[in-house]
Chains A and B, each alone.
Chain A
Amino acid sequence: MAKTVTVTIDGVKVEAPEGELMIEAAKRIGHHVPNFCYYPKLEPAGLCRMCLIRIEGQPKLQLGCNTRVTDGMVIDTISEAVETGRRAQVEFLLLNHPLDCPVCDKGGECVLQDYAMAYGDVASRSGMPKMNKPKAVDLGPTIVLDEQRCVLCQRCVRFDNEITWERNLVTASRGVYTIIATEGDQPYDSYFSGNTTELCPVGALTSKTYRFKARPWDVTPTLTVCTQCPVGCSTFADSRFDVLQRTRYDHETIDPHGDPAGDWICDRVRYNISYLTDERRLNTPMVRSGEDQWVDLAWSDAIDLAASTLKDAAEHFGPQAIGAIGGGRLTNQEAYLLQHVVRGLGSANVDYRLHDELTATPGRLAAQVHDLDDASLIIELGTNSVELAPVFDLRVRYAVERRGATLVHLGDVKPNWPVHFRHFPTEGDAASMLNEAAENVRRGEDLPKRAGEPPAQTLARLLRGAERVVVIWDGRGASEAAAIERLIGLLRDADKGAGVIVVGYAANARGAESMGMHPALQPGYRPAPQAGLDTEGMLRASASGELKALLIFGANPLLAYPNGALVRAALERVPFIVTTELFMTQTAVKSHVVLPVKAAFEKTGSTTTMDGEVKQLAISCAPQAGEPLTDREVLALLGDAMGLQMPSDSELEQLAAAAAAPELARAFSFTSPVLARTVRPAATPAQGAFTVHSVPRLYAGGGTSAHDTAFEPLRPHPTAYLHPGDVEELGLEDGDTVTVRNGLGAVDGLTVVTSKKVARGSIGVIAELPEAPVNVLADDCGSVHADVVLIRKGRQALNLAGAQGE
């Protein structure tokens, strides 16, 4: 804790931590020091020269953004001398500013507009024509730049350098001709690009999706939570006439003094929002009649149909013939109700896990996200936080670049990290490497560093030298779970800080797990008296005809589940499938009753972040067509129709809150024997020359991302990443079109991208793309082999966004 000093600001004595920036100290007495380039989460830059203040005893005006308070300092922020200095800067900035406020998106929330009113003259003294700089510059797939409006505060450039470490944005040319540009004139392609529009103090950087859409005073802001990934970022949703116009972070409100690493939002939530009003959205319940025939139903009829069929199935075939798979789109309350309904019918066949995970809750081995800041070694295992939890990933980058942490990735495909990291290929067996390294550490051998040593040995040395270790894991694999438990136990026994963070695949996976959406766990992680079938078990029971009715709530297993062959067989065989969906997804098409539901922005409820924090959703807009209900309403109606004892609204809130209690999660152990999963028969994988790896991509998916016209340009193009050596051997070139196929199926229309991120003999295929679903190649959740077949030579006009980061 810093020492407190007393300073006098504008005649008022203020206590402030020693070394605090004056611009922050002035806020303590409510005095705003005007600025453009200063931003609490960025390093001071001193570029705009607007935050001039006077310090007693110093002849020149000083910068509020780069002068730190010391005891006894006398500062003035509102005197004539200071104002004169600021007026000069505003006059300079307006010399070449177009003053096109009436057509500028920033109008109404523009800092320059405010300061022009406060410090500007009525008329210009220059008498010169304004400089022409490029307007409507297309910086990349998301951002349009107006160079003429730009005040060159470089907040965007600095964000891109200091926060994301991606270094896409630069300044080009010099003097009065200086402009913001991209490195090498490449498109500004970043998962965080939208943050620059919010950082921009003027109307220079605008989002393609929000340009000319609304005025800040016309929109109604609602603070809610993003449900696109497990990070659970707080987000403002601005709506006009119940239509969502934009999402934004708004640090001033949410996190005015926050640390630089956390609390930004990514472009998925910023730009993937027009699905809400997409015309493909389902707006009425439907029942399938025949192969591809659908008939609209009234809600009451749809609920009656579902309820009676489920009841009949339970009566005729026993409750075990009913199962439910629920996705991470559900709120805690909805997850609670779903398992309540299934368990109410006497079944325990309920699971949230769609990616063959073991767990979403790190439990007693947990590290908190903030622990990354002090970590000396970060080991990422299996997962890819760049793609699966982007804002969390900013904190990983911060830990590496600013706090000197060592970052190690154990896995088969190198992640697109812009920061320095070490990659240890595991050939599908990260657990063995972790075990070997742990064993090495336990034996305490002091091994000299040498070239060409096995990765486990290097990892052991890193572990020995590390005081605080954080493991990032996707929650997959029982052997991985055991290895992580062993390693963390070993480190903790040695009085080192150690813990694991689970970065899973579904947004509210942790909430679902805590709500008992789990065959072996009841709400609050209580072991179920009799475990039901897990996802794999339900799919197998479906395929074998034992399961007669399946509820699929907010999930798309046909696209997401690694064992594609099994899901296909299962969905073909189950006689009755009820799905709640926003769109006719791959899974919905195979269902018998499809119920339209509301999206996360349209409902209330709570969601649990990967860190265990419970956050509240708020209604920020409304469906524009039809009559979708929330999953919660659907489940309540269904439960009532089946005569189940359903909790009242207030009871449900209490039950959900009790189940989400942090101490319950802290006591949980993901290696507990009660979590034993369905035993899989040994598969004989299809043969092929290449090992196929599913590569996660933030913008992939078959739901909101595939049904959003405005988001379409950002969606990844189906891509096959191949090692340069293999590309040469196969006689391929970048841009060629190939099919990847084995005995089970084929993924067509993949564009070849040469990448050293995959090993020789491996092929990376983007996962969860409906137009090229990679799981058709698998009849097992393990390794997949396939061959590469050239379909067409030559580069076609492809969407470059698909090759991003390579």
Chain B
Amino acid sequence: MASYEPVLTKGIGEADLTDIGVYRSRGGYEQLRRAVREMEPDAIVGMVMKSNLRGRGGAGFPTGRKWSFLPKDGRPRYLVCNCDEAEPGTFKDRMLLEQTPHQIIEGIMISAYAIKAARAFIYIRGEMRQGYEIFMRALEQARAANLVGEKICGSDWSCELVAHRGAGAYICGEETGLLNSLEGKRGEPRLKPPFPANSGLYNMPTVVNNVETLVCVVHIMQRGEEWFASIGPVKSPGPKIVSISGHVRKPGNYEVPLGTPIRELVYELAGGLFEGRTFKALQPGGGSSACLFEEHLDLPYDFDSIAAAGSMLGSGAMVVMDDTTDMLDAAWVLQRFYAHESCGQCTPCREGTHWSEAMLERLLHGHGREVDVSLLGTVGDKIAGHSLCALGDASVPFLQSVVKRFPEEFLRGAERVAAIQV
């Protein structure tokens, strides 16, 4: 651990990386220049493929493979950078946006070049007003420096980068919901197939990548795919920014190699729990991930290990809960979020998230029925695997994991009714 030197977050807090001069003085945009002037696009795709880079947005899909799905039929292609970071507990993209926007632009432009995109877009979460303004200033600087736009870095390649602000819907972080929103339509996920690689933005082949993923590409270019692949586990290598929050002394973003033990993340980097508290549970990958418990603390923090334990690494947002956490309360807060953010298109997500929320609210107020506690699990089963997009599925794991582990905390909400009935 001590030997790891951050790359993605390097310089944050030391220098004003939002300034293009500072960024360039530290080697910034060198990789973009090298890419467009010295490299073939396919060579970059090959590098990313070999690096085993997996998407940092939540699903963990291999980036190189995603790029390789684009059909070679001459239609214009688009690259969309997903900066609609809204997963509960996640705040890594926001930091990158506000602190090192040029790194994002460089990552987008290299990747756009690699997939031969006709145009690149970045969809920035509506609430990130400050980040948007910082990014727009950086974009102007980059355009003035011929790093975005016509004949980039003196090469024959031209590509415009368009920034679009969201309006505050979680569902627009889902890639097809994002594409609809970007097209000016209602932010609703699309039915798949067709997949964006074939029919995405304006029905053209499209790649949607997370901010951190594209930032990783800059460093794969700089240090080589072997370097990247050598960090952490073979199947999910590379550096990862983990947003640690909740009941820890030092919440924040920490860049670590994937595969770092969870215990190290919680107790060393984040400073451990508060005085006198004991560990209860943690969500390893944002609000949509199932809880991990005491017995999982020594697991390595990487995609496959977390999945094997029944949860997911997701966006890399770790929410730590100590013994003061009321799981019924926590579950209600999260469920209310999903019910509120459900777009309402498909039956199971629209009705199911609301049903669960209503049951939890009833339990929270002591009006619940005992059967509600088992129904919470049943309703989850009815949603999971049946919804149109991942939002429905995402609403289930946390709730089911805590109901299973701490049923008594939920049953308490049914006691009063039970008592009255007796």
Contacts and interface: CB of A to CB of B under 8 A. Distances in A.
A281 interface: no
Interface residues of B, number: 33
Given A88-B382, A128-B358, A176 B347 contact: no
A89 B354 contact: no
Contacts of A170: 186
Contacts of A47: 345-347, 388
Nearest to B345: A47
Contact of A171 (B186, B340, B346, B382): B186
Contact of B347 (A48, A127, A128): A48
Interface in A142-190: 151-152, 154, 170-171, 173-178
Give the most central of B351, B353, B375: most A CB within 10 Å: B351
B346 A46 contact: yes
B344 A177 contact: yes
Contact of A66 (B193, B345, B369, B386): B193
A589 to B, nearest CB: 54
Interface in B66-124: none
B351 A48 contact: no
Contact of B343 (A96, A126, A175): A175
B339 A176 contact: yes
Nearest to B169: A174
A92 B186 contact: no
Contact of A92 (B193, B351, B358, B381): B351
A475 B351 CA distance: 55
A175 B340 contact: yes
A625 B376 CA distance: 63
Nearest to A66: B191
B382 A44 contact: no
Interface in B244-295: none
Nearest to A127: B369
Given A44-B191, A47-B346, A47-B347, A126 B186 contact: no
A175 B342 contact: yes
Contacts of B386: 49, 52, 61, 85, 88-89
B103 to A, nearest CB: 34
B341 interface: yes
A91 interface: yes
A477 B90 CA distance: 71
A174 B362 CA distance: 22
A89 B191 contact: no
Contacts of B372: 127
B58 interface: no
B371 interface: yes
Give the most central of A88, A89, A170, A178: most B CB within 10 Å: A88
Contacts, number: 92
Nearest to A68: B193
B343 A174 contact: yes
A278 B386 CA distance: 52
Nearest to A151: B347
Interface string A117-158: 000000001111000000000000000000000011010000
Contacts of B369: 127
B6 interface: no
A332 to B, nearest CB: 47
B350 interface: yes
Contacts of B353: 175-176
Give the most central of A45, A61, A92, A151: most B CB within 10 Å: A92
B348 A176 contact: no
Given A60-B385, A125-B371, A171 B191 contact: no
A92 B342 contact: no
Interface in A1-60: 44-50, 52, 60
Interface in B316-336: none
Contacts of B381: 88
Contacts of B371: 125
A614 interface: no
Interface string A92-111: 11011000000000000000
A170 B350 CA distance: 17
Give the most central of B341, B352, B371: most A CB within 10 Å: B352
A176 B351 contact: yes
A128 B372 CA distance: 11
Contacts of A178: 343-345, 350
A173 B342 CA distance: 10
B382 A91 contact: yes
A378 to B, nearest CB: 23
A48 B388 CA distance: 9
A171 B386 CA distance: 21
B199 interface: no
Contacts of B193: 66
B346 A48 contact: yes
A678 to B, nearest CB: 55
Nearest to B371: A125
B346 A49 contact: yes
Nearest to A89: B347
A60 B340 CA distance: 26
A174 B170 CA distance: 12
Contacts of A96: 351
Interface in B117-171: 169
Nearest to B351: A92
A462 B347 CA distance: 47
A496 to B, nearest CB: 27
Contacts of A60: 385
Interface string A57-81: 0001100001000000000000000
Contacts of B198: none
Interface string B185-213: 01000010100000000000000000000
B354 A175 contact: yes
A93 B344 contact: no
A177 B350 CA distance: 9
A49 B348 contact: yes
Give the most central of A61, A85, A175: most B CB within 10 Å: A175
A152 B358 CA distance: 21
Contacts of A91: 382
B408 to A, nearest CB: 21
Contact of B344 (A88, A95, A152): A152
B61 interface: no
A44 B346 CA distance: 13
A92 B352 CA distance: 7
Interface of B: 169, 186, 191, 193, 339-348, 350-355, 358-359, 362, 369, 371-372, 375, 381-382, 385-388
27 contacts: A47-B388, A48-B346, A48-B347, A50-B347, A61-B385, A61-B386, A85-B386, A88-B381, A92-B355, A96-B351, A125-B371, A126-B355, A127-B372, A128-B355, A128-B359, A128-B362, A151-B347, A152-B345, A152-B347, A171-B186, A171-B344, A174-B343, A175-B342, A175-B343, A175-B353, A178-B343, A178-B350
Nearest 5 pairs of A and B residues by beta carbon: A178-B344, A88-B382, A92-B351, A46-B191, A176-B354
Given A85-B385, A95-B351, 17 more contacts: A44-B191, A45-B191, A47-B346, A49-B386, A85-B386, A88-B382, A88-B386, A89-B347, A126-B358, A128-B359, A170-B186, A171-B186, A171-B345, A174-B342, A175-B350, A175-B354, A176-B350
